[in-house]
């Protein structure tokens, strides 16, 4: 069986991962450009763990400026099998107040400026995104939350907007009426790219505010968000530490096949494939291209 390597992408407020042991910082090159920053590679409770700050240290990158393809590519290159995204978000539900953690199971993509696939002209592939989150990862995260006394909500839909501006009131009310749970700016196309790279993926959506639909919170400010970020970050680090302690040391096959998403996804005939694109896909799709 494949050994588990747990990847952690830290969102707003999470630029490091205390508790990593035997740490080395590694700048991994990617044919897709520059990732957000150096990888911190180490162990937690004996489990290999790789940490990447999505916005880089000091929050240098806006959501639209993140090179999502390079980020997923370098995580794949160092062997990550299971990936947890720690992401700040706004809430559309009274029962998800600031400080709440949501293990989302669905995404709606409203971004429009980002490269959302490793594939394209010269090598076309279509992966399933019907169920974008690995159910086993959600189960392990929920169990870790229980052990740490951290309340987590098991289901919810995350709508991803382009940003960097917060929503208008009309947009916020629309998303609420559509039944979405939380709103953020970073988990798409990240989840799509993780699926193409055959990495099991799950999100911990950490609520910082009520967006602007709430009559008592009619404007979101960075200052308000930062206050909650600090508390959320501390809980997230406890959650990750517990997750690593209890995480299976052998990679569990994903029941929805996210770790074999390319099995029947490539449609371009071998003789029609662009050799330059094939070369760039050595990490992401090497399993299937070399078989």
- The distance from CA 262 to its chain's CA centroid, rounded to whole angstroms, is 19
Q: Is 246 a catalytic residue?
A: no
Annotated binding residues for substrate, written as ranges, equal 185, 209-211
Return the ∠ at Cα 214 (arms to 208 and 216), rounded to 5°: 90
Q: Which of 73, 82, 105, 209 is catalytic?
A: 209
- Asked whether the CA dihedral 20, 199, 38, 286 is positive or negative, the reply is positive
Whether 216 is catalytic is: no
Q: Which residues are annotated as a binding site for phosphate?
A: 12, 54-55, 87-88, 186
Q: Is the peptide bond before 189 cis (omega within 30 degrees of 0)?
A: yes
Catalytic residue among 151, 211, 224, 276: 211
Is the distance from CB of 150 to CB of 238 less than 8 angstroms? yes
- C-alpha span between 61 and 37 (Å, rounded): 10
163 half-sphere exposure, CB direction, 13 A CA radius = 20
For helices 68-77 and 187-196, angle between their N-to-C axes, nearest 10 degrees:
40
Bridge partner list, 53 = 10
Active site residues: 209, 211
């Amino acid at each position: 069986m494949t050994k588990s390597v747990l990847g952690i992408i830290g969102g707003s407020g999470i630029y490091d991962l205390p508790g990593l042991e035997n740490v080395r910082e590694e700048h991994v090159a990617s044919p897709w450009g520059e990732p957000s920053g150096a990888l911190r590679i180490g162990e937690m409770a004996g489990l290999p763990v790789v940490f990447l700050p999505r916005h880089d240290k000091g929050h240098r990158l806006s959501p639209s400026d993140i090179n999502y393809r390079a980020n997923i590519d370098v995580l794949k290159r160092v062997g990550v099998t299971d990936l947890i995204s720690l992401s700040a978000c706004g809430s559309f539900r009274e029962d998800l107040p600031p400080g709440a953690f949501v293990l989302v199971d669905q995404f709606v993509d409203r971004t429009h400026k980002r490269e959302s696939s490793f594939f394209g002209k010269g090598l076309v592939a279509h992966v399933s995104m019907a169920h974008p989150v690995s159910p086993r990862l959600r189960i392990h995260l929920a169990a870790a939350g229980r052990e740490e006394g951290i309340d987590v909500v098991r289901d919810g839909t995350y709508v991803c907007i382009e940003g960097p501006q917060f929503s208008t009131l009309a947009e916020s009310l629309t998303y609420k009426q559509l039944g979405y749970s939380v709103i953020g700016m970073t988990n798409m196309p990240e989840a799509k790219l993780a699926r193409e790279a055959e990495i099991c993926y799950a999100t911990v959506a950490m609520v910082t505010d009520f967006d602007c639909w709430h009559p008592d919170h009619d404007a979101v400010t960075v200052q308000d968000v930062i206050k909650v970020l600090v508390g959320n970050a501390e809980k997230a680090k406890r959650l990750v530490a517990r997750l690593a302690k209890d995480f299976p040391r052998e990679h569990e096959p994903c029941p929805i096949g996210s770790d074999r998403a390319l099995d029947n996804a490539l449609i371009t005939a071998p003789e029609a494939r662009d050799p330059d694109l094939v070369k760039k896909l050595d990490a992401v799709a090497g399993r299937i291209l070399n078989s």
